Amino acid sequence: YEYCQENWPFVSDSGDPISIDLVLACPEGKNDLPEGTLFHLDPKELAAAKDKRDKVLFSGWSMLIEHSCEPNLIVGGKGESDYDNWRSTYATKDIRQGEKLTADYNCILWDRTESQNAAYCTCGSEKCVGAKKGFKYLSRNEQEERKLWGVTHMRDKGVSPQIGEALSSHVREHLRRMGDDVMSSSSSSSSSSSSSDDDSSSDDESSSDA
């Protein structure tokens, strides 16, 4: 599923995002929440993303997705050619009706320490890392595992994957600044693999001709 995120419009004089209270008006359907229901929206506490310039991005999806260290959704940038606003998400497993939608917040933001609940995690999964402070604070092994998430799940679906596809463009940009261009590394690896396959095929043909 592909969707667009927009800049969070509520900011302080210094440009920092501020939280808001949202009150529901007249319900339109029988399953809608009653009139007057109050939502407190704080982008630092939700699945809000950031662009490459560290501006906060938000969408309706940000309100629906909860955190899990073993999520049923992967949310990444649509592609390196799209600047920042577009996101793509896909299921990592079958999701039953009524089941919570989850993503790993550590793959969405580089640093979430501004969040009040960043220092702990209660997802309860077997792979829980104990916190959701952001990708920066994961161990090396935990980072490497998440770089490969998209490869594992997309390959199972018969789609050609890229390393780092499960990471937001914001996280990939921070890795790039540190000299780790995961998407380029993936392309190079794919090219090398294809070249090796071609060389092997040529050798086989030569042997056959001989």
| pLDDT the model gives residue 148 | 85
| pLDDT the model gives residue 120 | 93
* Per-residue pLDDT tens digits of the chain, which is 210 residues long: 777 888 888 888 888 888 888 888 887 787 788 888 888 888 888 777 887 777 888 888 788 889 999 999 888 655 544 455 777 788 888 899 989 999 999 998 999 998 888 999 999 999 999 999 999 999 999 999 998 886 666 665 555 557 787 888 888 889 988 888 776 655 444 444 444 444 444 444 444 444
| pLDDT the model gives residue 204 | 47
| pLDDT the model gives residue 166 | 83
| pLDDT the model gives residue 56 | 85
| pLDDT the model gives residue 159 | 58
In this structure, which amino acid lies at residue 176? R
Contact 113, 177 (CB under 8 A): no
52 Cα distance to chain centroid: 14
Phi and psi torsions of 192, nearest 5°? -65, -40
pTM for the predicted model, two decimal places: 0.75
| pLDDT the model gives residue 79 | 53
Given the structure tokens 């809000």, which residue do they identify? 48
